Every structure is written in C-alpha cells, then in structure tokens.
C-alpha cells in the first residue's frame, strides 16, 4: 500500500528542491518525512509541515516559506486542499485518493501482512504453567497476551518460535513427591489429576505449618530428583505427563498451540557450565553455604545461583536457557511474557548475562503484565487452594453464549449453536483480557468476563457477521465486481461515515506494527472496536445495496475491506470471526 506520509514527503521534496537550489542545509527525504505532523485538530488538516527549520537556510520568515510551499503543491491530485497557517503548511488529503489507495490494498484478505521480519527469528515464551498445579485464571494473561504477540510478529514476517517453558522442576516437586508418598492414592490421581495434586499440595503446606521437618524432606526429595533417583524421577514424570494432558485440553479450547515445550528440566544438564563460568570469572561467591552473585552495585540486590544443599534455582536454569536459545536459534528477540512481579528478577538475569559477556542480553525482552486478584481482594494462591480454574471460566462463557443464541435463534441447529457458542464465548473471554493495557492489574469477576454488551468481542464478531450478511445479500457477481479497484467510483464513499471508516482501515498496518513493537495487543483490540463502530454507523446511516450500480459497488467494496480487517484483527487476538451469528 502507498504510504501517504512518504508520498507527501516526495511531493514536498520536489518543491523544496526548487526553493533550496541545493543550498547547504537542504533536507533528505527521511528528514522531511520525520518533520511531517498529524494535527490533533482535524481543522488543521490531515497532515502538516512546519517550516521553522528552513528559515535560516532560506533567510526568510517561516510563514512566507509556508506560503510558497503551499502555493507550489496545492494542485497535486493527492490533496483536496492545501493552506498556509502561520509557519505551517496544512494538507487535507483528497477523500477519493485516500479511498482508492486504501481499498486497492484492503480488498486483499492478506492486507496488513508484511515481510519486514524476514530472516529474523523471534522467540516468544508464554503460558508456562507449573506442572502438578492448576491451570487457573491467573494463567490467562500470559497465555493470551503471549499468543497474540506471537501472531503479531508472525503477521510481520518474522519466524516465530512459540515456547511453553513449563515449570517442571524445583523444590515444589520435592513437596509433591513427599505429599504423594505420605497421603497419595493412585486411583484418585488418575481420576482428576490437577485437582487431586492441588489437594496434595495444599495439604502439604497445612501440615508443614505444624511439622517443619516436611520442608526438609521436600528439599531432600528434590536433591534426589536432581541426582536421578529412580523413584523420585518416576513420580515426577507421572505428575508431568498427567498435568500436560490436562493443560492441552485447555489449550485446545483456547485454540493455542506451541512449537516446543522446553520445561525447566530440559536444562538440568546444561547448568554446570554457567555455574563454573560464574565462578571462574569471579562473579559468584559463597554466602551462608549458598552461591550468589552480588548485584548491589547495580541496584539489583543479590541473585541466588545455588542453595546451600547444592540444588539449583530459577536463575541458574534461566541463564542456561537464554544461552541455549541464542546458540540454537540465533534469535533477534527472546521475549518473556511474565508478570510484573518478576521485574527485578529479569533485570538480575539480564545483568548476569551481561557480566558473563553475552552482549545479546539486550535482545532478551521481559514483557510484564498486571496481576490478577479476586473480587474479595484475595490474591490467587495455589498454596492456599484459592484458585479459579481457567477451564471453568471458559465453559461458563460457552454455556452463557449458548443460552443467548438459543433465545435469539430458537430454530438454529444444535451443531450451529455449539460451534458459535464456543467461538463467541471463548472469544469474549480473550477479548476482555486483551482490551485493556496489559500492565494494568486485573480483578477477576464473572460478571465482567461474561458481559457481552458494549465494546466486547461478541460486538466485533457480530459486526464481522453483519459484513458477511451484506455480501451474501449483494450476491457473488456484485462482490466479484466490487473487488476490481478499477471499476470503483470513489466519490460514492466520500461521505463522513464512509471516509472515517476508510481512514481507520488505512491505519491498520501501522496499528499492527505499533502493537507488535510495543508488545501491546490492546492497540489492535481498540482499533478493531473503532472499525466495528465506524462500520455500524456507515451501515445504519447510508444505504449500501442501492439501485445505482456504481454506488453499490463502491459501498460493497468498503464492506469487503472492513470485513477483511476485522477478521485479521480478531485473528491477531486469537479470536474466530464467524460469518453467521
């Protein structure tokens, strides 16, 4: 698609060449483009060019320079109007020109895709639940935000590796092993693995309050696990296999998959290299029997590398993980989608990598997000058994959607109802999670998650279905003709509502870039809400399937473009775009 800003820069460059006559201080194309502004007040045009920087070179007052430039470009077909206001050249883009440029690109279902990331690998680590613990509502943020970030970078042409860095190692498994040996029942575990493991984990912590020796037993069990003791390894693998089977059922509901499950255990034989390297470089020292890296000089406290019993920690494994990923994938970016609670930890990890001499540490990106709490102010806690299962949330959303569909469409087939209920119900949960800035803390409430009114996923999905309905009514022949840009008369989509929609569609590729490079899916969410609202205004205020063939073709073309963008936008959020609701 033609970049309007770049096109304006080319027009301005031609005019400036004649004014500057190769004078010292002339501007390059990139400089001109960077100077072009988008006025907040639309009365000042779609774009504006300030002339202050040219005053010294031309030895002329900025308003006079602006007047000369305006006079020189006002006949350009791109502009509907050009005017000089003080030191600014205000440019109003021709509605017909912008509509033509936009539809020419947006009639392609792949509108928004680019190859700017070609040849570069981006790793996105997300979800990463702990084995033998519940997949609860707190995991929804990393899972859905991470999946959307993957989709955004994939849309920009990067090779994206989706990693689920399972929490399948650590002292917690010593606790689970001890708890199972003391109180476990194989039949109960096989019947409902996650809930039973949660019961054991909660029981362990309650019992440990009265019997601290249980914590010592747990540490001993984990040391045996690290040493490869047969019984400990058997139980650990059993817990892991059962847990992953349960997790995958939820991932299937969410439509989320991964390229690799590289649990922490994968790096258990890769850590000693870095423990030795930290020691050899004098970065690690002993403190109360443990090994630590002192980062006080950097305002980052102390990082624990190994405990006094010799067992490893997250940091030990994550150093090995980062280096393995660089050596294995040669990543352009290594993105960790992990809660804000770990901000300090990731600063410590990156500083240790830097001190070890790994200059690519700056390409390790921590993408934080706000925390989840419950309505009563409680924090989600596996240890205390205070959790809301994510699967329950998804099933409730599907059930509520099914009820709504049956009320509104009593004649709908059971198969259709179930399919749409899943697409819309799960879409509602995802959209609600991705509709606010990721850094904000989040209070889980059933009413909010299951609210389908207002600026919601179901509203955007319904708008997509409305577009599809319009196209079905238009008929295949009209739709085919409307996709021929040369057959369209853009004057028919220059009304206020239509043109506002055109501008939002034109902005979509830049919205994708902005969301990707800011790691902020809510930018897409907000934009497709705007597009849906704009299309619905256009739909209500203007007749689309009119008798005038030229007008109908132009408006059907705009409907096709809106449908394409809404579908792509929902897809970037991991949400289905049904043609019927």
pLDDT tens-digit map of 358-373: 999 999 999 999 987 7
Question: Do 72 and 210 reside in the same domain of the chain?
Answer: no
DSSP letter for each residue of 479-539: HHHHT-GGG--GGGG-SHHHHHHHHHHHHHHHHHHHHHHTT-THHHHHHHHHHHHHHHHHH
pLDDT of residue 327: 97
pLDDT of residue 27: 80
The answer as to whether 471 is a domain residue is: no
The answer as to whether 145 is a domain residue is: yes
Q: Which candidate in 95, 136, 527, 552 is catalytic? A: 136
Question: Do 158 and 9 reside in the same domain of the chain?
Answer: no
Instruction: Based on the residue annotation, tell me whether 328 is a catalytic residue of this protein.
Output: no
Q: Is the pLDDT of residue 444 over 80?
A: no
Strands 372-374 and 442-444: parallel
Question: Do 83 and 133 reside in the same domain of the chain?
Answer: no
- Residue 275's nearest CA partner among 284, 266, 267 is 284
The answer as to whether 238 is a domain residue is: yes
Question: Which pTM does this prediction carry?
Answer: 0.90
pLDDT of residue 314: 86
Region 6-20 average pLDDT: 89
Region 461-483 average pLDDT: 97
CB distance 221 to 230 below 8 Å:
no
Question: Do 221 and 269 reside in the same domain of the chain?
Answer: yes
pLDDT tens per residue across span 218-257: 999 988 988 889 999 999 999 999 989 889 999 999 999 9
The answer as to whether 271 is a domain residue is: yes
The answer as to whether 502 is a domain residue is: no
Q: Which candidate in 95, 133, 307, 400 is catalytic? A: 133
Instruction: Based on the residue annotation, tell me whether 543 is a catalytic residue of this protein.
Output: no
Identify the domain boundary among 353, 374, 395.
374
Q: Across the strands, what pairs with 312?
A: 306
Q: Is the pLDDT of residue 378 over 70?
A: no
pLDDT of residue 385: 52
Question: Do 81 and 180 reside in the same domain of the chain?
Answer: no
pLDDT of residue 379: 47
Q: How many CB atoms lie under 10 A from the CB of residue 85?
A: 16
Give residue 512's pLDDT band: very low, low, confident or very high (50, 70, 90): very high
Give the CATH number, domain containing residue 85: 3.30.1360.70
DSSP letter for each residue of 313-332: -HHHHHHHHHHHHHHHH--S
Q: Is the pLDDT of residue 377 over 70?
A: no
Give residue 21's pLDDT band: very low, low, confident or very high (50, 70, 90): low
Give the CATH number, domain containing residue 185: 3.40.50.620
Question: Do 40 and 133 reside in the same domain of the chain?
Answer: no
Q: Is the pLDDT of residue 89 over 90?
A: yes
Instruction: Based on the residue annotation, tell me whether 136 is a catalytic residue of this protein.
Output: yes
CA–CA separation, 552 and 549 (whole Å): 5
Instruction: Tell me the pLDDT of the chain averaged across its residues.
Output: 92
Question: Do 89 and 135 reside in the same domain of the chain?
Answer: no
Region 447-460 average pLDDT: 80
Q: Is 439 helix (H, G, I), strand (E, B) or coil?
A: coil
Please count the structural domains in the chain.
Answer: 2
CB distance 492 to 462 below 8 Å:
no
User: Which range is least confidently modeled, 263-267, 476-480, 516-520?
Assistant: 263-267
Question: Do 85 and 153 reside in the same domain of the chain?
Answer: no
Region 457-470 average pLDDT: 96
Identify the domain boundary among 374, 389, 413.
374
The answer as to whether 254 is a domain residue is: yes
Question: Do 59 and 189 reside in the same domain of the chain?
Answer: no
The answer as to whether 158 is a domain residue is: yes
Question: Do 127 and 19 reside in the same domain of the chain?
Answer: no
Identify the domain boundary among 343, 374, 405.
374
- Residue 163's nearest CA partner among 136, 142, 193 is 142
Q: Is the pLDDT of residue 90 over 90?
A: yes
Question: Do 20 and 163 reside in the same domain of the chain?
Answer: no
Q: Across the strands, what pairs with 93?
A: 79
Residue 510 has, within 13 A of its CA and on its CB side, a CA count of 11
Q: What share of the chain in percent tops pLDDT 70?
A: 96
The answer as to whether 270 is a domain residue is: yes
**More confident position, 135 or 162:** 162
pLDDT tens per residue across span 125-153: 999 998 878 788 888 999 999 999 999 99
**More confident position, 134 or 328:** 328
Question: Do 125 and 89 reside in the same domain of the chain?
Answer: no
DSSP H or E stretch at residue 85: strand 79-85
Burial of 207 (0-12, 13-18, 19+ CB in 10 A): middle
pLDDT tens per residue across span 269-283: 899 999 999 999 999
Q: Which candidate in 95, 139, 326, 555 is catalytic? A: 139
The whole domain housing 195 covers 121-279+309-374
């Amino acid at each position: 698609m033609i970049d309007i800003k770049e096109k304006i820069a080319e027009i301005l460059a031609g005019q400036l060449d004649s004014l500057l006559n190769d004078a010292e201080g002339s501007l390059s194309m990139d400089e001109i483009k960077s100077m072009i502004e988008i006025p907040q007040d639309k009365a000042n045009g779609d774009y504006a060019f300030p002339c202050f920087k040219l005053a010294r070179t031309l030895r002329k007052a900025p308003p006079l320079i602006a007047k000369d430039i305006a006079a020189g470009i006002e006949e350009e077909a791109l502009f509907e109007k050009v005017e000089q206001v003080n030191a600014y050249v205000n440019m109003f883009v021709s509605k017909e020109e912008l509509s033509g440029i936009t539809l020419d690109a947006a009639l392609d279902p792949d509108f928004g895709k680019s190859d700017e990331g070609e040849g570069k690998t981006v790793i996105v680590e997300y979800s990463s639940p702990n084995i033998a613990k519940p997949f609860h509502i707190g995991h929804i943020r990393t899972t859905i935000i991470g999946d959307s970030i993957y989709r955004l970078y994939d849309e920009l042409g990067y090779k994206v590796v989706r990693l689920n860095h399972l929490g399948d190692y650590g002292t917690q498994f010593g606790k689970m092993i001890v708890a199972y040996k003391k109180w476990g029942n194989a039949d109960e575990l096989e019947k409902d693995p996650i809930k039973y493991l949660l019961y054991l984990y909660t029981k362990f912590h309650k019992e440990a309050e009265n019997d601290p020796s249980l914590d010592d037993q747990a540490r001993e069990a984990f040391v045996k696990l690290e040493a490869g003791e047969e019984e400990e390894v058997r139980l650990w693998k059993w817990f892991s296999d059962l847990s992953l089977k349960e997790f995958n059922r939820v991932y299937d509901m969410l439509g989320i998959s991964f390229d690799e499950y590289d649990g922490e255990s994968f790096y258990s034989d890769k850590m000693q290299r870095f423990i030795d390297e930290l020691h050899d470089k004098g970065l690690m020292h002993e403190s109360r029997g443990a090994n630590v890296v002192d980062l006080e000089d950097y305002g980052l406290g102390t990082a624990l590398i190994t405990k006094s019993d010799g067992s490893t920690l997250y940091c030990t494994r994550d150093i090995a993980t980062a280096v393995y990923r660089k050596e294995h994938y040669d990543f352009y970016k290594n993105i960790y989608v992990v809660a804000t609670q770990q901000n300090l930890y990731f600063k410590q990890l990156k500083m240790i990598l830097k001190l070890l001499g790994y200059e690519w540490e700056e390409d390790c990106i921590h993408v934080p997000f706000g925390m989840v709490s419950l309505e009563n102010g409680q924090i989600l806690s596996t240890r205390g058994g205070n959790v809301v299962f994510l699967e329950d949330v998804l099933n409730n959303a599907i059930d509520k959607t099914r009820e709504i569909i049956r009320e509104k469409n009593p004649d709908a087939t059971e198969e259709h109802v179930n399919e749409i209920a899943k697409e819309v119900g799960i879409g509602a949960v995802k959209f609600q999670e991705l509709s606010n800035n990721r850094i904000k803390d989040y209070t889980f409430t059933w009413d909010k998650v299951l609210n389908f009114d207002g600026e919601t996923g179901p509203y955007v999905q319904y708008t997509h279905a409305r577009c599809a309905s319009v196209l079905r009514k238009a008929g295949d022949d009209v739709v085919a003709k409307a996709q021929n840009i040369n057959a369209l008369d853009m004057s028919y989509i220059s009304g206020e509502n239509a043109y506002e929609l055109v501008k939002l569609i034109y902005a979509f590729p830049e919205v994708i870039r902005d969301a990707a490079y800011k790691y902020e899916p809510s930018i897409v969410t907000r934009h497709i809400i705007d597009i849906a609202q704009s299309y619905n205004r256009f739909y209500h205020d203007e007749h689309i399937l009119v008798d005038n063939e030229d007008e109908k073709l132009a408006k059907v073309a705009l409907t096709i473009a809106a449908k394409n963008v809404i579908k792509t936008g929902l897809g970037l959020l991991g949400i289905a775009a049904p043609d019927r609701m």
